[in-house]
Homo-oligomer: A and B are copies of this chain.
């Protein structure tokens, strides 16, 4: 039996954005189904004691160069967000809410949010900017805000994040191929090997 590719992502992670641009290609090349796993990276950091590399100034400066090198290799647009870090709680609730209630709209939603943050440099900490970006991508911001305020969706995101921690996730992006875990957009070659 062939394993699916489980892909844990948060829209606030630039490395998860780069992975997001590559996962469909890897799935196609290996004939694999992708199981998207929205979770809250901030919750995982809190539970595991891990932190963003951006919190160490010398490392943060280097990471931006490193992400740019991979973006060039992948041939995708990338600009480090001037508004980093982004509070992604409402956005990830929307992503998970869509996945549960209107599954075909989840990928287009995340596409729009990743582009707004990691290509166009929009300030997605600002509710008006979020509403404008969503409207431009043919979403109804009111409906998505209602989804993000729904107690059941809130609980689901909490549960998804706790489950990630229980499986050993400590950062984003994280991939599972069966029981094998891979962390980082820079491990997609190993992910592809595991799927082949």
State which residues 16-66 of A face B: CB under 8 Å. Answer: 48-50, 55-59, 61-62, 65-66
Q: How far is the CA of A69 from the CA of B66 in the complex (A)?
A: 22
How far is B128's CA from A176's CA once the two chains are assembled, in angstroms? 44
Chain B neighbourhood of A56, CB < 8 A: 48-50, 170
Name the B residues within 8 Å of A181 (CB-CB): 62, 65
Give chain B residues whose Cβ lies under 8 Å from the Cβ of A57. 48-49
The one of B50, B55, B168, B183 in contact with A66, judged by C-beta atoms closer than 8 angstroms, is: B183
On chain B, the residues within 8 Å of A187 by CB distance are: 66
Q: Check if A171 sits within 8 Å of B48, measured CB to CB.
A: no
Decide: A59 and B171 in contact? CB cutoff 8 A. Answer: yes
- Count of this chain's copies in the oligomeric assembly: 2
**B62–A170 touching, CB < 8 Å:** yes
Most chain B CB atoms below 10 A, which of A48, A55, A59: A59
Report Cα–Cα, A190/B61, bound state, in Å: 18
Nearest Cβ in chain B — how far from A95, in angstroms? Answer: 23
B49 near A169 with CB under 8 A, answer: no
Residues of B within 8 A of A55 (CB): 49
Is A120 on the interface with B (CB-CB < 8 A)? no
Count chain B CB atoms within 10 A of each CB in A50, A55, A62, A187 and give the residue with the most.
A62
**A48, closest chain B residue (CB):** B58
Further contacts, 14 of them, CB under 8 A, given A59-B171, A62-B168, A66-B183: A48-B56, A48-B58, A48-B59, A49-B56, A49-B57, A50-B58, A50-B59, A58-B165, A58-B168, A58-B169, A59-B170, A62-B181, A66-B187, A69-B190
**What are the 8 A-B residue pairs with the smallest beta carbon separation, nearest first?**
A58-B170, A48-B58, A50-B56, A59-B170, A49-B56, A58-B168, A50-B59, A62-B183
